[in-house]
Amino acid sequence: MKTNLWIPTVLLTVFVVAISCVKDTDFEQASDITARPVVELNLIHFDVAAGDFYDETTGTSRLTLSDTTEIRFLDDSGLQESLLRAEFFFEFTNSIPRNFDVTFQFLSEALDTTYTAQTFVNEGTTTVPVITTFEEIVEGTEILDLTSADRVVVNVTIPEANAELEGALRLKSKTTYFLEITERE
């Protein structure tokens, strides 16, 4: 005699799972949940040729080049309240035989400076590019200044340039945001 136990076994399993999911569940604990996500984003990247620091038409040096990037996600009120810390990581690859002074200026919508960071990039050569890294950590009261910005302006300053200057300056960067999200009433 052949007995099929498949259907009773499935029904018993479903019944046990259903009872165990409801019994002794405290739904009030749901308001005590805190999420701590970490979000990594690419921030800025550029590739500047040495010739960009010299104007062939006028025969004059351009000692400072600027680039503006919008960062509108920082103006979200939910993000502003949840942001605990931000870490910025910048990696420069320099094959130009000059040092550079680089300033990161965070601006509000009204073009007011809310936060500034600065670094120095070591000179390299076309045959041996030099990598310079820079890390900026923003936390505490500076977070409010940072989240007031909706754009970042990068100013790259070279001490002197001429028509014979060769090489390139490359920047790759990322930012890591550490958030704490809790239920708000």
The model's pLDDT over 108-121, given as tens digits with 9 standing for 90+, comes to: 999 999 999 999 99
Q: Which domain holds residue 137?
A: 32-182
The model's pLDDT over 16-52, given as tens digits with 9 standing for 90+, comes to: 666 665 555 666 665 667 788 898 989 899 999 999 9
Structural domain contains residue 52? yes
Structural domain contains residue 38? yes
Structural domain contains residue 20? no
Number of domains into which the chain is organized? 1
Structural domain contains residue 175? yes
Question: 122: closest CA among 161, 91, 155?
Answer: 91
CA pair distance 162, 166, nearest whole angstrom: 9
Structural domain contains residue 79? yes
Q: Which class for 99: exposed (0-12), middle (13-18), buried (19 or more C-beta within 10 A)?
A: middle
pTM for the model stands at 0.77
The enclosing domain of 81 has a CATH number of 2.60.120.660
